[in-house]
Chains A and B, each alone.
Chain A
């Protein structure tokens, strides 16, 4: 599964993970997702370090990034990615509870590709996730070096 993962979801809350996966599952995208639970693991995944040292070196087609994460927080992960020649090609979507303007401004300054506030309403949440997943993993042509779509 992780070999084919085109969506990297970085989210610490297991319930949010489940709800996101459920939403993506409605559009058959759940098996394209690899989940890391903190910023450090996310960077391990991207750099193929630690437990991910065996995976192929391709970038995910999109990264869904929460901002409030244990150890390395979302903005730090974003900064790290966008300052790395190879990783900065990855489209990053911040998916967060925070409607705070300063988070939004900092994310955009760091070069985020989209900023999505998780809606409280579940239908809206499902719709948002669906559209994100479909757009970035299906419609959008990912940059070179990304995991290819399963045939």
Chain B
């Protein structure tokens, strides 16, 4: 186990390095471990013989026990057994009668067994204690590693958070720039345009009688182009306003909105034969005025693109899904080629010539933007000259709150 530790107090570091040395020794080669065992017993034997020489009797038992303790603690179970056996042999040879033989006299036999028992018990306790110690150390090391990993993860999270905060502030800045850009477009781009139109009108008024047919047409074209640019600017501003405006989502019943829009559109379609099929739409969670704009754009598109039909059929209804409501607007008008379906919802993207159908190409882009802001999706199906169907989905009232919260 390799653990790289950051700075620690020196006392703890010393303790730790000793512990590591411990561990390494226990994992070390058998020669070293058994060697340690032999050395321990030899030192104990030396000590006991010297003590005996100077007349201190009966110190051999604690000395050999100490040798067993040291061997067990530092070298493990195998060397421990070796130490016990060697101690027993030494004890037998040097300290039981008859001395200097491996025989044991009857009266020394209990002493000898006592010695073996005490050595075995000491070895047993030390081995158990040692196992507990090593388990504890293991657990502590694991904790340490986990702690460091957690710290590293926290650092990463903190770093990501900082990054996020930076991004957010960048986004805010660029949003503000965008806002001021839209504002100055609204102010400054419109003014010269108004002048182009105004002065062309004045010129037309003053010089109309002097101009030939061609020049008058040129003049008319200037005027129309300038007005068209005015419309484009207005539409673009409206589009950008939708992106910036705050949505106030409430429970909205689309039925009255549809009725309202149909009535409004109806004022401009007198003389046309339009069959409206209006189905009930469920309550959804959305911004009322934005939802109205979506319905208005889709229905007025349907009316526009069915212009050449003797009888236009426009249907609005819905498919009730599990989590969302998909509303569709179907018409029997000009339709479109499915090949270009991706372009349909782009800003200023048009699939028809201005002579065929007027418009700036912002209506469906607005629809998409609004629906995306509500956490929904848009799609369309069409066949050239057989009509088109536009779908938009809105989250159902019950789970809408969290979904819009995620997307806003």
Contacts and interface: CB of A to CB of B under 8 A. Distances in A.
Nearest to B234: A99
B227 interface: yes
Interface stretch (A46-54, A57-65, A83-91, A118-126): A118-126
15 contacts: A13-B191, A19-B202, A22-B198, A67-B187, A97-B191, A99-B234, A99-B237, A118-B194, A120-B194, A120-B197, A122-B194, A122-B197, A122-B200, A123-B201, A125-B194
Contacts of B194: 16, 19, 97, 118-120, 122, 125
Given A16-B194, A98-B187, A101-B241, 19 more contacts: A15-B198, A16-B191, A16-B195, A22-B202, A96-B187, A97-B186, A97-B190, A97-B194, A99-B186, A119-B194, A120-B190, A120-B193, A120-B226, A120-B227, A120-B230, A121-B197, A122-B198, A125-B197, A125-B198
Interface of B: 183, 186-188, 190-191, 193-195, 197-202, 226-227, 230, 234, 237, 241
A100 B227 contact: no
Interface in A91-114: 96-101
Mostly, the A contact residues are loop
B212 to A, nearest CB: 23
A82 interface: no
A15 B202 CA distance: 12
Contact of B227 (A67, A68, A101, A121): A121
Contacts of A15: 195, 198-199
Contacts of A99: 186, 234, 237
Contacts of A123: 201
Max chain A Cβ within 10 angstroms of own Cβ: one of B191, B202, B234: B191
Given A120-B226, A120-B227, A98 B186 contact: yes
A122 B195 CA distance: 9
A101 to B, nearest CB: 8
B187 A97 contact: yes
A108 B199 CA distance: 31
Max chain A Cβ within 10 angstroms of own Cβ: one of B190, B202, B234, B237: B190
Max chain A Cβ within 10 angstroms of own Cβ: one of B198, B199, B200, B234: B198
Nearest to B226: A120
The 7 A-B residue pairs with the shortest CB-CB distance in the complex, in nearest-first order: A120-B230, A122-B201, A19-B198, A15-B195, A97-B190, A122-B198, A122-B197
A13 B241 CA distance: 26
Nearest to B190: A97
A98 B200 CA distance: 22
A48 B210 CA distance: 47
A123 B226 CA distance: 14
B131 to A, nearest CB: 76
A24 B183 CA distance: 28
A68 B198 CA distance: 20
A120 B199 CA distance: 12
B198 A98 contact: no
Max chain B Cβ within 10 angstroms of own Cβ: one of A97, A98, A122, A123: A122
Contacts of B226: 120
Contacts of A19: 194-195, 198-199, 202
Contacts of B202: 19, 22, 122
Contacts of B186: 97-100
A66 to B, nearest CB: 10
A100 B184 CA distance: 10
A121 B183 contact: no
Contacts of A16: 191, 194-195
A19 B234 CA distance: 21
B194 to A, nearest CB: 5
A125 B241 CA distance: 24
Interface in A35-57: none
A100 B227 CA distance: 20
Contact of B183 (A13, A100, A125): A100
Max chain A Cβ within 10 angstroms of own Cβ: one of B193, B199, B234: B199
Contacts of B197: 120-122, 125
A68 B195 contact: no
A15 B200 CA distance: 13
B91 to A, nearest CB: 101
A98 B230 contact: no
A99 B190 CA distance: 10
Nearest to A120: B230
Contacts of A121: 197, 227, 230
A22 to B, nearest CB: 7
Contacts of B241: 101
A67 to B, nearest CB: 8
A125 B202 CA distance: 12
A122 B194 CA distance: 7
B303 to A, nearest CB: 24
Contacts of B227: 120-121
A72 B230 CA distance: 28
Nearest to B233: A120
